[in-house]
Structure 1
Amino acid sequence: MANYSNLTVLIVDPNVGMRGNLHNMLNQCDITKIEYAVSSGTAVRQLRKKPFDVILCEYDLGNGQEGQDGQQLLEDLRQNKLIELWTIFIIITSERVYSKVIGAAELSPTDYILKPFTVDMLLQRITKALEKRADFFSTYQAIMQGNLREAIRICVLGESKLPRHAGEFLRLRAELFLQLEEFEEAEKIYLQICDTERPLPWAQLGLAKSWFQQGRLDEAEQLLSGLVSQNHKFISAYDLLAKVYEAMGKLGAAQSVLNDAVGQSPHVVRRLRRLGEVALENGDAESAERSMKQVVAKAKYSEFRDAEDHLKLVQALIKKGDATQAAGVIRDLEKSLRGNPKMEACRLMSVAMLYEATGNAANAVEELNKAVSVCSETPGISSKSLIALAQHCLSNKLDDAATNILLGITSDINSEVTTNMAMDIFEKADRHDLAVNMSQQLAQQVKDLLRQASEKAALGDLRGAVSIMQEAVHKAPENIQVLEASANMMMKQLDAMGWEHGVGEQIRNVLDQIKRRDPSYLQLFEMMKSYRALQAKYGIAATA
């Protein structure tokens, strides 16, 4: 038997007897570095302090009572990046309700074990997981270091040297091309797998993703519709099909697909949240209320509660015309999320919307002004919530506040809201004057950012200059001169400070953007030449 004495294990189980049994089983496998968590909350706190090689997690963390389950904990850990790619996460359950089992499997734990099981069965699962981890470890390391091209190179080698994992390496390689936004390369791999008598569902899903990202919505919709009709339990296909319908402007169809997905797998919070958001946008207040109530209830025991869930529930209730229940949700928000960094901003937005809905214009304006002030100082508020706040400001003639909110959104390089989308909000509100004003302010801000970046670079702060240039690109993504200046600044950083894979990929993406917008752009050839010279300087031209 292999030596597992250095293996670290975290047991997550509220039942003291089960924790003891697992501890004894692990000891029989020569595993002694064992720690416990009695709930999802204590597990999160321990994982924030240090990593573990293996996590053995009971599915029913509520011990039969209402509470977060192992599936939801896995979702939280993955979304908040508290576990590494190589962490082994095994769900232990006696739960035979199929919807719950498929929900857990859908979120891809390393494995799951149904009780009762023996020491030999547990050891076999751990051994199998460790062997696979060893085979993929160098790939995971490259991904964690941001060197996705090296990860792709390792995948190619793995396909030939480890034929038992060839399919998984091929799949991972395609997913890495998607991350690099090289959608045509990913498409080639997926087409290769799909061009068989029995195409694999995951490859069809990947192909649809590549088409979706290329804007080929009709093809993606047709493929995904067939995929979900043939594979009723393939929940990820439902999720992507809903995104396709949203992009096509078919909110009713998107809501219907998400509703079907929730019916198949009813315990995933992020999907319930998305269903609530789409239903709200589609004007279906009752469905939005139903979904957001479930989200609030299920997230109650999570370490990652989001105050915006209460805000969305308030919006649904207001749209439904239930001011009394909306006021109750606001009270619960204030009570149950006291200390949450987003609580006050969400409370003020909720109160302002409730005042507006009940005809109290003066108080609505007062609370909106407070909300705008607090939101400007509160990180993490979603673009959707901020846009809703801006729209309510417009409804109450707070033009400057609405403009400042949207300018703030366009300053956030992590926001998916483009400048055109922000200005379209004014156009839809029949405020062309504000759209023109915002366009002028954005143009001036971009000029100021270019000047600030130049000053930073002159002082030797190249990282700071690159960061400022990224904000300028976010504000003016169609401006080729801004794209050129950004790429040149990043190349200047790499030339002076050494190669960084993430920055190298950003340069490549910016050059691709310039090429797509104007293939004959005069400076493009020299920029490509400078980029290749940088690659050669650091000996990575063959992999980048």
Structure 2
Amino acid sequence: MQSYSELSVLIIDPNPAMRGNLHNMLNQASITRIEYAVSSGTAIRQLTNKRFDVILCEYDLGSGNEDSGQDGQQLLEDLRHNKLIDRSTIFIMLTSEAVQTKVIGAAELTPTDYVLKPFTVDALMQRIGRAVERRTAFMPAYQLIAQGQPREAIAAALEAERSNPRYATDFARLRAELHYELGELAEAEMIYQAMIVARPLGWAQLGLARCQFGLERYGDAMSNLERLLENNPNMMGAYDLLARSYEALGQSQQAKKILEDAVAISPNMVGRLRHLGEVAYGTGDISAAEKAFRQVVTKARYSEFRDPEDHVNLVRALVRKGDVSQASGVIRDMERTLRSSANTEVCKHISSAMLLDVTGHATEAASELSNAVTAVGMARGLSNRLRIGLVNSCLKHRLDKDAADVVMHMMNDNEKPITMDEAVSVFEKAGRHDLARGVGEKIDGVMQELVTEAEAMARQGDHRAAVATLHQALRRTPGNLKVLYPAVQAILRQLDELGWEAPLGDQAAALIDRIRSLDAGSPALEALLKQYSGTQRKYGISTTA
């Protein structure tokens, strides 16, 4: 039997006998760097501080008791979503039952492999060996991804594909995913289309549909997804994207039906249940929303990454339903079981305000909303959906300054910023044109300060910092000509003085195209085009904007 003594392995299993059996099997392949976790919580704490080459995870982490913790599928969802494992981690799911929902659930989260018990040491090591061999071929690209160099990783994948032709399809998939993550949807689409011509692979069809959705070709995406589901009704990601496509076209009832079908097939994905609850609430199906949000709260109870917003969603549904007693119980559960944090404080205050509102205590509700606004400034990772809901609640109670403060906080949030147009539309939709105008003027002032700051950086020769600052401004005001022109000028100055960088040159061209669509025929645009062409000629590049 081949030795894999260099591998580190984490065994996640609540059963001491099974942990012992797995340990013995691994020892027979000279694997001795073995650690254990008896639950999802202990696994997450270990993975927060240390990485492992291989994870062997039992599906039934609660020893068959659904109320005793997360299952392996929910754990894997947490690990992927919170980036505690990367592409190089070999994750093998172990289960003693070939239950359809379990196999489907595990497969849709793309573990490296899954193995049905009982299995022999030879069978287990064959799976691990196959995974290690594949990982070795991909490691140069994986290392570049980990270093934040996705473009270099694409080139490395192309190079590795030549010496590992048996993984050609997998390398193509990785390249397409990286192009997609870079926002290069047309490039990703071409790769997926080439894959489909060679062989109608489900993941390639789904990837193609994702690109079409991102390019706002919703009809094409829906046609592809419907064909995919006809041939592969267990391709769970297709249901999620099809539902979002229906939503994008304003057909929320159809989206709800699609999500209900998906949940019936694979019932344990918390993200999908949350989405179903949101869509159901939006369509006015409060009973379905309550059921979905209650399942989310229940299934996420044992997660190390519990989101207090799930309790807010459930309280909102119960309040809308008129069930004050149960809504109060959910708030008490939030206070009792969720760890103290700014996010939890925001959610507690918003939930309490909803309850006070429905029971006729408007003054107390307004006080809770003000408390929520104060806590928002210290919170991290709150959804824009929740924060916009808080803005609307503040406007309802005439807390105009609080509403404006939340919107400005959203504009300045580097993780989930909203654009100026989105910020202004919050107030326009509420019929508050005065606040929309005031916030728009305030945002214009902030953007001008960023432009001035970037110009000062450029004068001092710090061109990269100037470009980064203007990128920050563009994320918030992508159609603002007062930012677009300085941004292109800053990029061209950097290229001219520090050397040509193809991705930055492409970005300049894309921004020039955006300016052309907004300000065609402008003398300032003509000057930029000449500057761009001059920089290209300086470095012997023949293409033009």
- Answer with 147-156 or 319-328: which moved more: 147-156
Once the two structures are TM-superposed, the CA of residue 535 in structure 1 deviates from its matched residue by 11
Whether 1:472 aligns to 2:473 is yes
Q: Which residue of 2 aligns with 1:181?
A: 183
Contact 2:495–2:535, Cα closer than 8 Å, also in 1: no
Distance 1:164 1:281, change over 3 A: same
Task: Identify which of 163, 166, 170 aligns with 2:165.
Answer: 163
Task: Identify which of 89, 92, 109 aligns with 1:90.
Answer: 92
Q: Which residue of 1 aligns with 2:372?
A: 371
Once the two structures are TM-superposed, the CA of residue 37 in structure 1 deviates from its matched residue by 0.8
Mapping 1:73-84, distance limit 5 Å: 73-84=75-86
Once the two structures are TM-superposed, the CA of residue 15 in structure 1 deviates from its matched residue by 0.8
- Answer with 255-264 or 456-465: which moved more: 456-465
Aligned partner of residue 369 in structure 1, secondary structure = helix
Distance 1:295 1:529, change over 3 A: farther
Once the two structures are TM-superposed, the CA of residue 331 in structure 1 deviates from its matched residue by 0.5
CA shift digits 1:265-321 (9 cap, x unpaired): 111111111111222223222111111111111111111111111111111111112
Distance 1:314 1:457, change over 3 A: farther
Q: Which residue of 2 aligns with 1:54?
A: 54
TM-score (norm 1): 0.91
Q: Distance in 2 between matches of 1:419 and 1:226?
A: 39
CA shift digits 1:202-257 (9 cap, x unpaired): 22212211211111112212222222233211111111111111211222221211
Distance 1:466 1:329, change over 3 A: farther
Q: Distance in 1 between matches of 2:395 and 2:300?
A: 32
Q: Which residue of 2 aligns with 1:140?
A: 142
Q: Which residue of 1 aligns with 2:329?
A: 328
Mapping 1:481-492, distance limit 5 Å: 481-489=482-490
Task: Identify which of 501, 512, 515 aligns with 1:514.
Answer: 512
Once the two structures are TM-superposed, the CA of residue 160 in structure 1 deviates from its matched residue by 3.5
Instruction: Name the aligned partner's letter for residue 108 of structure 2.
Output: E
Aligned partner of residue 430 in structure 1, secondary structure = coil
Contact 1:410–1:474, Cα closer than 8 Å, also in 2: no
Whether 1:213 aligns to 2:214 is yes
Q: Distance in 2 between matches of 1:261 and 1:458?
A: 56
Aligned partner of residue 112 in structure 1, secondary structure = strand
Q: Distance in 2 between matches of 1:9 and 1:93?
A: 18
Whether 1:114 aligns to 2:108 is no
CA shift digits 1:418-450 (9 cap, x unpaired): 322222222222222222222211111111222
TM-score (norm 2): 0.91
Distance 1:292 1:406, change over 3 A: same
Q: Which residue of 1 aligns with 2:402?
A: 401
Contact 2:492–2:532, Cα closer than 8 Å, also in 1: no
Contact 1:7–1:33, Cα closer than 8 Å, also in 2: yes
- Answer with 187-196 or 205-214: which moved more: 187-196
- Answer with 169-178 or 37-46: which moved more: 169-178
Instruction: Name the aligned partner's letter for residue 27 of structure 1.
Output: N
- Answer with 504-513 or 149-158: which moved more: 504-513
Distance 1:529 1:218, change over 3 A: farther
Distance 1:348 1:137, change over 3 A: same
| CA RMSD in angstroms, aligned pairs only | 2.6
- Answer with 51-60 or 464-473: which moved more: 464-473
Contact 1:411–1:471, Cα closer than 8 Å, also in 2: no
Distance 1:82 1:186, change over 3 A: same
CA shift digits 1:404-431 (9 cap, x unpaired): 2112212224326332222222222222
Distance 1:4 1:350, change over 3 A: same
Contact 2:342–2:375, Cα closer than 8 Å, also in 1: no
Distance 1:531 1:404, change over 3 A: farther
Distance 1:340 1:22, change over 3 A: farther
Q: Which residue of 2 aligns with 1:39?
A: 39
CA shift digits 1:497-519 (9 cap, x unpaired): 999x9xx7466445413314417
CA shift digits 1:104-143 (9 cap, x unpaired): 1110111111110111111111100000001111121222
Aligned partner of residue 342 in structure 1, secondary structure = helix
Mapping 1:141-290, distance limit 5 Å: 141-195=143-197, 199-290=200-291
Name stretches of at least 5 consecutive residues in structure 1 with no aligned partner.
none
Name stretches of at least 5 consecutive residues in structure 2 with no aligned partner.
none
Q: Which residue of 1 aligns with 2:531?
A: 526
Q: Which residue of 2 aligns with 1:27?
A: 27
Contact 2:387–2:406, Cα closer than 8 Å, also in 1: yes
Once the two structures are TM-superposed, the CA of residue 344 in structure 1 deviates from its matched residue by 1.0
Contact 1:77–1:83, Cα closer than 8 Å, also in 2: yes
Distance 1:405 1:127, change over 3 A: same
Q: Distance in 1 between matches of 2:360 and 2:132?
A: 62
CA shift digits 1:383-408 (9 cap, x unpaired): 11100000111111112211221122
Aligned partner of residue 92 in structure 1, secondary structure = strand
Aligned partner of residue 64 in structure 1, secondary structure = coil
- Answer with 99-108 or 463-472: which moved more: 463-472
CA shift digits 1:55-105 (9 cap, x unpaired): 111111111222101111111111111112111111111122111111011
Distance 1:493 1:414, change over 3 A: farther
Contact 1:515–1:524, Cα closer than 8 Å, also in 2: no
Q: Which residue of 2 aligns with 1:429?
A: 430
Instruction: Name the aligned partner's letter for residue 518 of structure 1.
Output: R
Instruction: Name the aligned partner's letter for residue 230 of structure 2.
Output: S
Q: Which residue of 2 aligns with 1:339?
A: 340
Q: Distance in 1 between matches of 2:26 and 2:193?
A: 44
Once the two structures are TM-superposed, the CA of residue 341 in structure 1 deviates from its matched residue by 4.1
- Answer with 20-29 or 401-410: which moved more: 401-410
Once the two structures are TM-superposed, the CA of residue 324 in structure 1 deviates from its matched residue by 1.4
Instruction: Name the aligned partner's letter for residue 181 of structure 1.
Output: G
Distance 1:235 1:19, change over 3 A: same
Instruction: Name the aligned partner's letter for residue 100 of structure 2.
Output: Y
Once the two structures are TM-superposed, the CA of residue 481 in structure 1 deviates from its matched residue by 4.1
Distance 1:53 1:391, change over 3 A: same
Mapping 1:498-513, distance limit 5 Å: 505=503, 508-509=506-507, 511-513=509-511
Distance 1:2 1:495, change over 3 A: farther
Distance 1:352 1:535, change over 3 A: farther
Q: Distance in 2 between matches of 1:498 and 1:16?
A: 60
Give the number of the structure with larger relative contact order, counting CA–CA contacts within 8 Å between residues 6 or more apart.
1
Aligned partner of residue 333 in structure 1, secondary structure = helix
Q: Which residue of 2 aligns with 1:68?
A: 70
Q: Distance in 2 between matches of 1:78 and 1:64?
A: 24
Q: Which residue of 2 aligns with 1:351?
A: 352
Q: Distance in 1 between matches of 2:495 and 2:207?
A: 33
Contact 1:5–1:31, Cα closer than 8 Å, also in 2: yes
CA shift digits 1:155-176 (9 cap, x unpaired): 3334443221111112222222
Distance 1:525 1:94, change over 3 A: farther
Contact 2:59–2:95, Cα closer than 8 Å, also in 1: yes
Contact 1:334–1:347, Cα closer than 8 Å, also in 2: yes
Q: Distance in 2 between matches of 1:3 and 1:529?
A: 59
Aligned partner of residue 301 in structure 2, secondary structure = helix
Once the two structures are TM-superposed, the CA of residue 456 in structure 1 deviates from its matched residue by 4.8
Q: Distance in 2 between matches of 1:243 and 1:382?
A: 17
Q: Which residue of 2 aligns with 1:446?
A: 447
Q: Distance in 1 between matches of 2:238 and 2:344?
A: 34
Count of equivalent residues: 534
Q: Distance in 1 between matches of 2:292 and 2:460?
A: 53
Q: Distance in 1 between matches of 2:37 and 2:442?
A: 52
Distance 1:344 1:95, change over 3 A: same
Q: Distance in 2 between matches of 1:525 and 1:243?
A: 42
